[in-house]
Amino acid sequence: MIEPVGDRNESPMENQILIVDDEKMIYSIVAQRLAKEGYPCVMANNGREALGCFYQDNFSLIISDIRMPEMNGLELLKNVKAVRPDMMFIIMTAYPEIDMAVEAIRLGANDFIIKPVDLDLMVFSVKKALERKKMEEEIEAHHKNLEKLVEERTSKLRKALLVLKKTHLDSVKVLAGAIDAKDPYTRGHSDRVRKMSMRIGMELSFNGEKLENLVFGALLHDIGKIGIRDEVLQKKGQLTPEEYQYIQQHPLIGVKIVEGIDFFKDKIPMIRNHHEHFDGSGYPNGLMGETIPLEARIIAVSDAFDAMTSLRPHRRAMPVEDVILEMGKGKGKQFDPKILEIFLNGKIYQ
């Protein structure tokens, strides 16, 4: 039997209370008093009936007797808490059932009222439970709001970081363009070396920061050319041995330009070592094999390919087939054999 009591039209869902007792007299008294206090009530005769109401309607609080036919108050409590752990639940119990009341608290009941019911105490207990529920809901809403705010801020920061990275890459590209512009024969060289080196890096499973670092290093590998005099860099015809030696200083000039700038620190090994040869015959330090940083060995392959396929003051651009043959001769000598294989087999140059 379900009987609504009180004016439920004002706010049908808010603070609605489900009262469960098999003694009609008790639940009528309780419900009348609560309705007077402004709480709409629905009444049920036992646990099973109450569970039906609980599933169908929206309640802020359940007040339940313990001993009832069909389903007792503890069973009802267990079933309700399994679905809605936050449901406010007050047990009504007589003194001899005090052990059961303790068990009810253990199962998640929020309070218990001793029978015969003192109506003032009951109203106090109901108000306390509903205030607690309201506070819990406010805290929950606050948490959700915070989570949403954190999510929004994180997403904004992520977007800002992407824009920043893109801007950063663009400004380094401008810088690389300035390096290439010093020598009209190397226009676009740094960017082509970047693209090829990036593809080799990806073949070697570089990702994230490691790949990003390689990209910037490839763009900046020739930054030292900024410090080389134009008349030597742009000289038409063969370089004298002295001029050649002078140009060979560009890796170390590059290191001097960037050292002391935090962002460039991890690009230094690429700037310094991109003219080292695998067999130790390169410059500036004559490093050999894997003592040459991997990123520098990658850039060395892309750099040589682009240099040979580009028009230079003292020679024509070589056809790609000839360059491939020529580079093959440098396997294990000028070039790291594994990287050269990746470059040629993967047709990275295409």
Choosing from 166, 182, 225, 265, which is the catalytic residue?
225
Stretch that binds Fe ion, among 168-176, 201-209, 214-222, 342-350 (CB under 5 A): 214-222
Stretch that binds Fe ion, among 108-116, 215-223, 292-300, 321-329 (CB under 5 A): 215-223
Structure tokens at 206: 């570089």
CB of 196 to Fe ion, least distance (A): 14
Nearer to Fe ion (CB atom), residue 76 or residue 299: 299
Distance from C-alpha of 294 to C-alpha of 337, rounded to nearest angstrom: 12
Please enumerate in sequence order all residues whose Cβ is within 8 A of that of 7, keeping only pairs 6 or more positions apart, or say none.
Answer: 35, 40
Distance from C-alpha of 221 to C-alpha of 239, rounded to nearest angstrom: 22
Q: Please report the beta strands in 189-280, taking only residues with DSSP state E, as ranges in sequence order.
A: none
Nearer to Fe ion (CB atom), residue 26 or residue 253: 253
Type of residue at 225:
K
- Nearest alpha carbon to residue 107 among 156, 66, 49: 66
Which residue is nearest to Fe ion, using beta carbons? 222
Q: Give the three-state DSSP class for 348.
A: coil
Sequence-separated contacts (24+) of 257-266 with Cβ below 8 Å: 257/223, 257/224, 257/226, 257/227, 258/220, 258/223, 264/220, 266/213, 266/217
Stretch that binds Fe ion, among 13-21, 219-227, 240-248, 281-289 (CB under 5 A): 219-227
CB of 181 to Fe ion, least distance (A): 15
Annotated catalytic residue 225: yes
Confirm if 224 and 193 have CB atoms less than 8 A apart: no
Nearer to Fe ion (CB atom), residue 41 or residue 250: 250
Confirm if 64 and 73 have CB atoms less than 8 A apart: yes
Q: Give the three-state DSSP class for 90.
A: strand
Geometric angle at alpha carbon 287, from 252 and 263, rounded to 5°: 45
Nearer to Fe ion (CB atom), residue 222 or residue 295: 222
Helix axes 119-181, 24-36, angle to 10 degrees: 60
Nearer to Fe ion (CB atom), residue 49 or residue 222: 222
CA 339 to each of CA 71, 211, 246, 343: distance values in angstroms, whole numbers, following the listed order: 76, 16, 29, 6
| By CB under 5 A, residue 222 contacts Fe ion | yes
| By CB under 5 A, residue 183 contacts Fe ion | no
CB of 222 to Fe ion, least distance (A): 4
CB of 319 to Fe ion, least distance (A): 23
Instruction: Count residues near Fe ion (CB under 5 A).
Output: 1
CB of 250 to Fe ion, least distance (A): 6
Nearer to Fe ion (CB atom), residue 90 or residue 304: 304
| Helix (H), strand (E), coil (C) string for 184-207 | HHHCCHHHHHHHHHHHHHHHCCCC
| By CB under 5 A, residue 276 contacts Fe ion | no
CB of 224 to Fe ion, least distance (A): 7
Type of residue at 189:
H
Stretch that binds Fe ion, among 40-48, 156-164, 182-190, 221-229 (CB under 5 A): 221-229
Stretch that binds Fe ion, among 29-37, 217-225, 227-235, 317-325 (CB under 5 A): 217-225
Structure tokens at 112: 């218990």
Nearer to Fe ion (CB atom), residue 61 or residue 223: 223
List residues binding Fe ion (CB under 5 A): 222
Q: Where in the sequence numbering do the catalytic residues fall?
A: 225
